[in-house]
Chains A and B, each alone.
Chain A
Amino acid sequence: MIQTAALVVPLLEVKDLAFSYGDRPAVRGASFSIRKGEIFGFLGPNGAGKTTTLACIAGLRLPSQGSLAFLGEPFEPAFSPRDRARLGLVPQEIALYDELTGRENLEFFGQLAGLRGGGLDRAVGEALELAGLVERGGDRVSSYSGGMKRRLNLAAGDLHRPELLMLDEPTVGVDPQSRNHVFESLRALTSRGRTLLYTTHYMEEAQRLCDRVAILDQGRVLGVGTAAELAASAGIPGADLEQVFLKVTGRRLRDE
């Protein structure tokens, strides 16, 4: 296994995480840490366990083993509203209410996050701006294009300014313009000091966007580091992430 050391206090530290769906293991002893202010990529083929790992971190699934620490403190979002408030999630699916307008969706999720009054209005306004939907905020989500929904999906996850925003393949099925908008939005977020955990199976996205990457396959973390560090550790210095990925995970097709 490739491992590069990090001598900073991690924002999130995941140790030996495991989760099974019945007798089918999805995550097998995953360990990695995310530093404050970085975009941490989670790279893996379909069925690698990326979404399940995210769900375990978010408290949506209870891992069968392992531990989480946030800035060195034990972290249990499944049981602690305070811990949940430190996280934001942008699910792979468009997790929005079609029958409500964009603004109503944001207001609802903002209220659940504890925002009220002027603070809520401000957060909703900024989220609409982030999504590029200021003009269409009053329209029902059902009337939005796929790209608009994706952008709003992202904005809804960041509404309450979480310390760690987790994005599960946020660019699946969007046109190049919307994808570019998503990337710009993410850069804008990191420039404001936000930390992102970004899962994808698009190598070029990970290469272009992420400061560090974890390669995940069949529930195991096979390597963590920058693209250059991973290439060096894999014995192909100067290679791009795709080459490293194929070297580390092999060329065999994955059954989901």
Chain B
Amino acid sequence: MSLLSSAWAIARKDLRIYFRDRTGLLLGFALPIALVGVFGLVTKYFFGQESGLSKTTLWVGDFDGSARSKAFVDALRGAATVRVKPDPKEKAETAESLRKKVEDGEAHHALVVEKGFGEALAAGRLPTLRMYRDPDRQMEAQMVSVGLMQAFFSAAGSDSAPLLTARALEILGLPEEWRERTLAVAQAFSTGIGALFGEAEKEGKVGADRAGDGAGKDDGGPDFQSVMLDLVPVERVDLKPPKRPKQLSYMLAQSVSGTGVMMLMFGLVACGALMIRERDQKTLDRIRMSPAPSTALLWGKYLFAAICGAMQLVLLFGFGRLVFAVDILADPVTLAVVSLATLLAVSSFGILVAAWARTQKQADGVSTLLILVMSAVGGAWFPVQIIDLPLPAKIVSRSTITHWAVSAYQGLFWNGKSWYEPPMLLSIGVLLGFALLAGLLARLLFQRRYVGV
């Protein structure tokens, strides 16, 4: 037999074996399709929807109640980068409750439109807004600034152009006493620009030869981008949870929580899959035939998975503490409670996969698929918690173990919450619910697959 025909015979045999496990095969092909789909959806919601930008939540309280302030808040609701809360139909927040939301880590930005907002605009003055903010949430700060600018321009109308131009010059260093003069220059500038546009429009040239996006960028000059973002006058009040470790950044906390939960899932699914091997080896028959209680097998698997998971978490968090100097042991009791709930939920998931799968290939395929999907939509890779997801995406995200586990760890690491506080209790409760549901399903499937009862 020639080399080629021998090689082809071997390949044909392998293909036959490969195609014989139809469920495994389906999963093998479904996996890349599902991943592309999930990545596409996550990217779409994360990096931009129809407006081209994703939205972040901004809590707003209008304590002026004037037509202008209402128009401003309405404009904020229509802004491309923020989603205003509470909704018009919901109960309005007080200034103190807005402050507390940020202080407790429940919100990262809360805007107070103070009394006098409309009056100031009417008098040709820039009103001052107050913003309670978490200073460590830089990404959201940029999005909020863009939304504020958009809304302010929209609400204040053409009057705002000279006011904002004057403020821009102030920010760039022109002394405040020259305010009247800069305002006059800005007004003349605004009128001149208006005239130029009018003339160009008459000649039908508006938009014909627009300069490139990078026009006007001067590396050695002022940072116009930050000037633009600061144009709307806001008095910023920086607040952050007192228990938050100093060295921690939001993305680092996200990374530690997200990666930890994802790797835990992979690890514990592998633990559960050992049961498939035992079934094939018939050692499982020996265990089942022993006088040990029949539930001992499943409990033993849980215990094994939980111990492996605990070791994995200790290593991961230990690494985080050593390398990134993150003080993850600030609240060891909450860390233990959150970890236990996560371990139970993830172990149940791993055992459920093992009980469902007929072959190792099926277990590998379905677990990889589910873990990657749950990690992507549940916030283990991207902080989807900061994005205002559309309702269906929100439901999908909240249906994952990952979402609640990452939320619980983030609540602990980032917001310094203790296990008994309401948002933490919710996350812990949902995780335990997952554990119970997956555990019951695993038991049912185990009876069917392994016992045949």
Which residues on A are within 8 Å of B, measured CB to CB? 55, 58-62, 77-78, 81-82, 84-85, 87, 89, 91-97, 109, 112-114, 156-157, 160
Contacts and interface: CB of A to CB of B under 8 A. Distances in A.
A109 B285 contact: no
Given A62-B452, A62-B453, A95 B283 contact: yes
Given A61-B452, A62-B453, A78-B453, A84 B282 contact: no
B344 to A, nearest CB: 24
A60 B285 contact: yes
Contacts of B286: 89, 91, 95, 109, 112, 156-157
Given A95-B282, A95-B283, A96-B283, A87 B289 contact: yes
A109 B290 contact: yes
A109 B283 CA distance: 10
B179 interface: no
Contacts of B290: 84, 109, 112-113
B289 A58 contact: yes
Contacts of B282: 91-93, 95
B285 A85 contact: no
B99 to A, nearest CB: 59
Q: 9 closest A-B pairs (Cβ-Cβ)?
A: A112-B290, A85-B291, A95-B282, A81-B291, A93-B282, A91-B282, A95-B283, A112-B292, A84-B291
23 contacts: A55-B285, A58-B289, A60-B285, A78-B451, A81-B291, A81-B293, A84-B289, A85-B291, A87-B289, A91-B285, A91-B286, A92-B282, A93-B281, A93-B282, A94-B281, A96-B281, A97-B281, A97-B283, A109-B290, A112-B290, A113-B291, A114-B292, A156-B286
Contacts of A82: 291
Interface in B434-453: 451-453
Contacts of B451: 60, 62, 78
Contact of B289 (A89, A94, A114): A89
A20 to B, nearest CB: 11
Contacts of A60: 285, 288-289, 451
Contacts of B453: 62, 78
B287 interface: yes
Given A60-B285, A92-B282, A157-B286, 9 more contacts: A55-B285, A59-B289, A84-B290, A87-B289, A95-B281, A96-B283, A97-B281, A112-B287, A156-B286
Contacts of B291: 81-82, 84-85, 112-114, 160
A238 to B, nearest CB: 40
A79 B289 CA distance: 10
Nearest to B453: A62
A82 B452 CA distance: 21
Q: Specify which of A60, A87, A91 lies most central, judged by the most chain B CB atoms within 10 Å of its CB.
A: A60
Contact of A77 (B283, B287, B289, B452): B289
A109 B453 CA distance: 24
Contacts of A113: 290-292
Q: Specify which of A62, A81, A87 lies most central, judged by the most chain B CB atoms within 10 Å of its CB.
A: A81
Nearest to A91: B282
A5 B283 CA distance: 37
Contacts of B288: 59-60
A192 to B, nearest CB: 20
Q: Specify which of B282, B291, B451, B452 lies most central, judged by the most chain A CB atoms within 10 Å of its CB.
A: B291
